[in-house]
Amino acid sequence: MSTIRCINGHEEPDVRELHLKCSLCGGMMLYKDACVEKIENLPKVDPVFEKISMVFVGLPMASSISTDNKGVYVSSVLAGDEENESVQAFTLSRTDASSWLDFYSKYLGKLDRWMKFVGLGKSHYRIIVVDTRKPISVLALAAIPSSWKNTIVIAVTGDQTSTLIEQNTSYAAVGTALKRGLPIVAISTSFVDELIFYTEKEGLVVRAQALVPILYRLISSIDAVMDTMGNDSRLGVKEHCFSAILSASEKVYPSVESALYAQESSFSIIAKKSDITTACLLAFAPADVLTRIDKIFAKYRRDELKDAIGADHQGYPSDGGSSSGIYDLLMIYGIKDGLTSQALKSGYDSVASKVPELSLARVA
């Protein structure tokens, strides 16, 4: 054991007993200094966090995303039979809460601690994929700190096919995200219900599972996506929708130009061309097809997007330089304020007028 001295430098003769004061002068014993002498240098801890953190809220976690993309951390926030926390999931007890206000009031502090524990704020980018019809959606969006930059919300929103309480919840969730300055890419319930894609990698996917290939494309173009969202935010544009054509080829569309025009018929929410304020095309294709897309988009932008504040595109060569001619087009549109929740307002008001507690004003 290290020598134990008092504040005046006297050594303690009997180290088998602990004394608060020196037996010679009555000065305070310096046990802390003695301990420090024996502590070896600890190894430096320098954890590496993934570039992207993705959280699925009220939706099944697509674990394949982290398997196929080593720089992506995937987790989920769900309602289950009992409360549970792990590195991959935060589960809330559905028996302890029913409305979105119940979850928000009961679990906000706990969810905030879990988000810090798993290090969501340490990633450079964050994607929150949330079913805003679920009562836990308001809680999850309210728990996002204002310090989190480079964060986007992919929101499945209610519509006229949803129940009134789902519309109320969805409206409150969308409003919560926008109050926190989070850019939203909205996807209506009806759009998800009718969604179907066939891709070379994922095969035939439908409904909510068909969102996974869209998320893959967002991840592979994350820098451009976040730049687009940041530029739109500076222009005051926070709400977005998208359109997508996957696994296109000359066997399906006569030309790339026809595919570009065809995507206009598949907006992810009810929107018109006059609602568009910005546009960003993400194209994934062989190099020769990307060259054609570059030229065609320049004309498309002049002819079809002349009223947009901004319109740009980014191309990504297909893996391995595929010569199959198959390509994907993903267009992200900035839209007018309020369009995301327009179809939800009447349902929200109907519930809030009967149950005043279920109003957006209750969210801090």
Q: Which residues of the chain have pLDDT under 50?
A: 1, 321
Both tokens of 321, joined, read 């330089």
CATH of the domain at 360: 3.40.50
**110 exposure class (CB count in 10 Å sphere: 0-12, 13-18, 19+):** middle
Closest CA to 348 of 331, 361, 330, 329: 361
Closest CA to 151 of 117, 113, 120: 120
Both tokens of 74, joined, read 């995937």
Report pLDDT for 284.
95
> Do 121 and 38 lie in a common domain?
no
Both tokens of 44, joined, read 């430096």
Q: How many domains does the chain have?
A: 2
**Residue 111: partners with Cβ closer than 8 Å, 6 or more residues away:** 77, 90, 139, 140, 143
Tokens 């007890």, residue located: 93
> Do 3 and 62 lie in a common domain?
no
**Is residue 112 in some structural domain?**
yes
Q: What is the per-residue pLDDT across 26-69, written as a single tens digit (0 to 9) for each?
A: 788 777 766 655 555 656 666 678 999 999 999 988 878 877 77
Q: How far apart are CA 275 and CA 220, in angstroms?
A: 27
> Do 33 and 157 lie in a common domain?
no
Residues listed for the chain: 364
Q: How far apart are CA 21 and CA 345, in angstroms?
A: 72
Q: How far apart are CA 85 and CA 223, in angstroms?
A: 31
> Do 34 and 115 lie in a common domain?
no
**Is residue 276 in some structural domain?**
no
**Is residue 40 in some structural domain?**
yes
Closest CA to 183 of 147, 232, 135, 148: 232
User: How far is CA 79 from each of CA 93, 106, 140, 211, 329, rounded to the nearest angstrom?
Assistant: 6, 13, 12, 21, 35
DSSP-assigned letter for residue 160: T
The 3-state DSSP class for residue 73 equals: strand
Q: How far apart are CA 133 and CA 186, in angstroms?
A: 12
- Measured on CA atoms in the order 76, 82, 83, 86, is the torsion positive or negative? negative
> Do 65 and 32 lie in a common domain?
no
> Do 33 and 55 lie in a common domain?
no
> Do 146 and 54 lie in a common domain?
yes
> Do 53 and 172 lie in a common domain?
yes
Both tokens of 32, joined, read 């802390």
> Do 13 and 62 lie in a common domain?
no
Both tokens of 42, joined, read 């600890």
pTM equals 0.85
358: containing domain: 47-182+340-364
> Do 76 and 149 lie in a common domain?
yes
> Do 170 and 65 lie in a common domain?
yes
Report pLDDT for 72.
94
> Do 177 and 81 lie in a common domain?
yes
